[in-house]
Chain A
Amino acid sequence: MQGIRNNLVVEINDVSKSFGGLVALSDISLDIKQGEICGLIGPNGAGKTTLFNILTGIYSPDSGVFKINGQECQNLKPHLVVKAGLARTFQNIRLFGNMTGLENVMVGQHVRTKVGVVGAIFRHRYARQEERQIEEKSRALMVYVGLDPDTNQLSNTLSYGDQRRLEIARALATDPVVIALDEPAAGMNATETGELRDLLMRIRKDGVTILLIEHDVKLVMGLCDKVAVLDYGVKIAEGKPNAIKQNKDVIRAYLGGSLS
């Protein structure tokens, strides 16, 4: 923890990435404070998901550095980024379909637990205790996001909104410092979006920082403490939601130059 300056749990410095000739991200810098909800918006193809994939260790950046919770992560494998404290959800839901909801959340605690083959086979006291803790915590997390831990339903049979919520519970199970949500409101109706909004407020209140990619501008503007806007791989604006709404560059990026 000694590496954290000024409560910054995410520090991105001059991260660039290109695929062949296409520059997907150029010199992106962004800091997120502990307990903030930071929105990341931009038109399709602006590089939001690329930045996400870099932060979560799926791609490594061509240049630049980023720190999660004070730890340099630009060259780490995805599972080590999770260990450092960044958990994520996916734009197109990626649950473990043939596992129950509870089992999905239990998998999320893999990185914070350690019983191996010997413990699994002999079930000594420590292994039993850890297993019980995993289950209790998973149940609590399911209740926390508003799901019933006792349904034996396989996760691929859950409703769309429940699947989204389960993904968030699974991500929270990794004990993250920052949780990165990739379009969590996509495909949701107004009621579900409202519930999601309440859930995100609760998560923030409980001390987890949120990085949010979202197309629903109303949700982003109402929820975020800070918004960063990407366009063609460049950060064109960063600031409070109200300031972003007035920003000329942002309006041009979204609506096209001729209108502004």
Chain B
Amino acid sequence: MKELLTDHKISSLKTYFTSYRHAVWIGYVMIAVALIVLPFLVESTIGRTWVRILDFALIYGMLALGLNIVVGFAGLLDLGYIAFYAVGAYTWALLASPQFGLHLPFWVIIPIGFVVAGFFGVLLGAPTLRLRGDYLAIVTLGFGEIIRIFLNNLDHPVNVTNGPVGINLIDPISIGSVDFTKTQEIFGLIFSGAHIYYYVLLLLLLVSILVCIRLENSRLGRAWVAIREDEIAAQAMGINTRNVKLLAFAMGASFGGIAGGLFASFQGFVSPESFILLESIMVLCMVVLGGMGNVWGVVLGTFILAILPEVLRDISSPLQENILGKVWLDPESLRMVLFGLALIVVMLVRPTGLWPSKKNN
């Protein structure tokens, strides 16, 4: 009787596990379908602007994943990260716009942007190798500002960046004569530019997630975390901390560079005011709020912080009218107050982020 029972138990466990594996696959397929259908739903219910907001959330996702390599994995607090986004954006802008009459295709510019931003990452990393924590934060903050000010002033003596006016008419991604920012009709379905870009950006974000997860679970990822945890002990275990830190800066910066290039091609326009300190802080908030060091946490944090302010913009006026009968506060300022409040609450309730990196036992 006893044996029968255990046999029965084992077989039921087996069916449980096989069905569990099926459930996982069904889950993946459902997520994939949801992600493909999402822009159609959004466009038909709340409007095309929201597809654009999704696009920006995806771009921020790549940015935040890059910063997560530097801050989350290697523990190097970088407050000037947006500089690499700027470098990537201007690289694309200069290589594919009437500014210099260059119109390179996207598959040439993306690797160039990757390399150029990575180079700037090393350029920032090299002099700051001995710095940590607050000191590193101050220097990187300065670096971010230097890049922005350079972009703002490089219109004379030789005009490179067009100064504060910015660069216009940047080429979008296009394959043959198909321009990704123009509305296209395929099989009777209408795809707006934002909608097509959504798929491009989604694909790149998924690749970024994969790359980050693989880096994290590698010899290098462990070395980064070791440096974050204890730099002296990391050295004493034979890690060349200089090279490994520079690599973290370069990898993080390259993600920023690619995101910046896509931003430029999507907007068709770049100017220095897109790359202010507040943007650096915003990306850092996404990383910290989501859960430093955890790739999925960072993605979650990004989506919340990229979308929440837009939701608040839409609801802060109707909310006041319903509750108070009249719009008392300017929705634009109320939105930022609510946003700040939400950040404070999250950090009080979950100080290690919404989805922290390791299950603490």
Q: Do chains A and B interact in one complex?
A: yes
Interface, chain A (partner B; CB < 8 A): 56-58, 77-79, 82-83, 87-88, 90, 94-99, 103, 106-113, 115-117, 119-121, 123, 127, 130-131, 134, 152-154, 157, 170-171, 173-174
Interchain CB contact under 8 A, B215 and A117: yes
Given A107-B222, A110-B219, also A96-B233 (CB < 8 A) = yes
Q: Return 27 A-B CB contacts under 8 Å, by A number.
A: A58-B232, A79-B239, A79-B240, A79-B241, A82-B238, A87-B237, A87-B238, A94-B230, A95-B229, A95-B230, A96-B226, A97-B229, A98-B229, A99-B225, A103-B222, A107-B234, A107-B239, A111-B239, A113-B219, A115-B219, A117-B215, A120-B219, A121-B214, A131-B219, A173-B237, A174-B237, A174-B238
Q: Is the CB of A154 within 8 A of B232?
A: no
Among B145-153, B198-206, B353-361, the stretch that binds chain A is B353-361
A96 in complex: contacting residue of B211, B225, B357, B359, CB < 8 Å: B225
- B46 part of interface (Cβ distance < 8 Å): no
B residues in contact with A111, CB < 8 Å: 237-239
Contacts A107-B223, A110-B223 given: A83-B360 contact, CB under 8 Å?
A: no
User: A120 — nearest CB in chain B belongs to which residue?
Assistant: B218
Q: Which of chain A's residues have a CB closer than 8 A to the CB of B361?
A: 152-154, 157
Q: Are A79 and B238 in contact (CB under 8 A)?
A: yes
Q: Mark B218-256, 1 if CB is under 8 A from A, else 0.
A: 111111011001101111111111000001000100000
Instruction: Give the shortest distance, in Å, between B253 (CB) and chain A (any CB).
Output: 13
| Residue from B211, B222, B251, B360 in contact with A110 in the complex, judged by beta carbons closer than 8 Å | B222
Per the bound structure, the CA–CA distance linking A58 and B233 in Å amounts to 11
How far in angstroms is the closest Cβ of chain B from A55? 11
B-chain residues with CB within 8 Å of residue A173 when the two chains form the complex: 237
Does A82 contact B237, Cβ atoms closer than 8 Å? yes
B226 touches A99 (CB 8 A): yes
Q: A155 vs B222: C-alpha distance in the bound complex, in angstroms?
A: 14
The 3 closest A-B pairs by CB, nearest first: A111-B238, A120-B218, A82-B238
Residues in A neighbouring B234, C-beta threshold 8 A:
96, 107
Q: A90-B233, A106-B222, A120-B220 are in contact. Are A83 and B238 (CB under 8 A)?
A: yes
Residue in chain A with minimal CB distance to B207: A121
* Other 17 A-B pairs with CB < 8 A, given A56-B236, A115-B220, A157-B361: A57-B235, A58-B232, A79-B240, A79-B241, A82-B236, A94-B233, A96-B225, A96-B226, A96-B234, A110-B222, A113-B219, A115-B218, A119-B218, A127-B218, A130-B219, A134-B219, A157-B360
Q: In the bound complex, how far is the Cα of B225 from the Cα of A198, in angstroms?
A: 32
- A174–B233 Cα gap in the complex (Å)? 13
Interface size class of B (residues with CB under 8 A): 20 to 34
Query: Which residues in B have some Cβ–Cβ distance to A below 8 Å?
Result: 211, 214-215, 218-223, 225-226, 229-230, 232-241, 247, 251, 357-361
Q: How far is the CA of A87 from the CA of B358 in the complex (A)?
A: 28
Residues of B close to A154: CB separation below 8 A: 358, 360-361
Task: Specify the chain A residue showing the minimal Cβ separation from B250.
Answer: A117
* Residues on B with beta carbons closer than 8 Å to the beta carbon of A57: 235
A-B contact count (CB 8 A): 106
Bound Cα distance from A253 to B361, whole angstroms: 47
Chain B residues, CB < 8 A from A98: 225, 229, 357-358
Nearest CB on B from A65, distance (A): 22
Q: How far is the CA of A96 from the CA of B240 in the complex (A)?
A: 16
Nearest CB on B from A18, distance (A): 22
Q: Kindly state the separation between the CA atoms of A96 and B236 in the bound complex, as whole angstroms.
A: 12
A79 to chain B: closest CB distance in Å?
A: 5
Q: Contact: A120 with B214, CB < 8 Å?
A: yes
CA distance A121 to B359 in the complex (A): 25
Q: What's the least CB distance linking B111 to chain A, in Å?
A: 14
Contact assessment for A107 and B232 in the assembled complex, using a CB-CB cutoff below 8 Å: no
Q: How far is the CB of B218 from chain A (nearest CB, A)?
A: 3
Contact A107 B251 (CB under 8 A): no
Q: Could you say which residues of chain A place their CB within 8 Å of the CB of B233? A: 90, 94-96
Measured in the bound complex, the distance between the Cα atoms of B217 and A134 in whole Å is 12
Which residue of chain A has the shortest Cβ distance to B223 in the bound complex? A110
Q: What distance in Å separates the Cβ of B355 from its nearest Cβ neighbour in chain A?
A: 15
Contact A79 B235 (CB under 8 A): yes
Question: Please, which residues of chain B bring their CB within 8 A of the CB of A113?
Answer: 219
Partner of B215, one of A90, A108, A121, A152: A121
B238 touches A131 (CB 8 A): no
Write out the residue numbers on chain B whose beta carbons fall within 8 Å of the beta carbon of A115.
218-220
Task: Pick the most buried of A94, A95, A115, A131: most chain B CB atoms within 10 A of its CB.
Answer: A94
A35 to nearest B CB, angstroms?
Answer: 23
Q: Check if B236 sits within 8 Å of A88, measured CB to CB.
A: yes
Task: Give CA–CA (A77, B214) in the complex, Å.
Answer: 29
The smallest beta-carbon distance between B91 and chain A, in angstroms, is 21
Within the complex, what minimum Cβ distance (angstroms) separates B223 from chain A? 6
Chain B's closest residue to A108 (CB) is B237
Q: Please measure, in the bound complex, the distance between the C-alpha atom of A157 and the C-alpha atom of B360, giving whole angstroms.
A: 9
Q: Measured between C-beta atoms, what is the minimum distance from A71 to chain B in Å? A: 14
CA–CA, A87 to B357, complex, Å? 30
B220: which A residues are within 8 A, CB to CB? 115-117, 120
Known: A99-B229, A103-B222. A120 touches B215 (CB 8 A): yes
Q: How far is the CB of A60 from chain B (nearest CB, A)?
A: 14
A119 vs B261: C-alpha distance in the bound complex, in angstroms?
26
For residue B252, give the distance in angstroms from its CB to the closest CB of chain A: 12
B10 to chain A, nearest CB (A): 22
Closest chain B residue, CB of each to CB of A82: B238
**From B225, which residue of chain A is reached at the shortest CB distance?**
A99
Which B residues are in CB contact (< 8 Å) with A103?
A: 222, 225
- With A96-B229, A117-B247, A152-B359 as known contacts, state yes or no: A78 contacts B235, CB within 8 Å: yes
